[in-house]
Amino acid sequence: MNSEISVLFEGDHVAVSDVDVVFGEKAYSLGVYEDTAFTAASENVEILKKMLSYEATTLSFSTLGKDYKEFSVQYEGLRDAYNFTSKNCDFFRNIDVDGDTEKERV
């Protein structure tokens, strides 16, 4: 299973564009389909590593006529949720995420 990073925008007829997630100095542009923005598959593991390390993160996006910049993203509990899910759903560590050459359980 490969990680997939997405952002869901809820609301009536949300027209979102120009979605970026920024970790420090590095920005990742997300593609938008309807009400959901997705990272490029090739960037998912890199972004997940940053999320699991609690790296400071901001999110920016545009809607019809309005730009929203630098919403901060909090990750409290993300590592615990990731570890709980991996243990109880019986999936294994991704070598790219933790550098472990053995696919052992988290």
Map out the domains of the chain as residue ranges.
Answer: 6-75
Does the pLDDT value for residue 59 go beyond 70?
Answer: yes
What is the mean pLDDT of the segment spanning 73-88?
Answer: 80
Res. 105: pLDDT tops 50: no
**Token pair 């759903």: residue:** 89
1 — pLDDT class (breaks 50, 70, 90)? very low
Query: What pLDDT, on the 0 to 100 scale, is given for residue 89?
Result: 75
Q: DSSP assignment of 19-73, as one string? A: EEEEETTEEEEEEEETTEEE--GGGHHHHHHHHHTT--EEEEEEETTEEEEEEEE
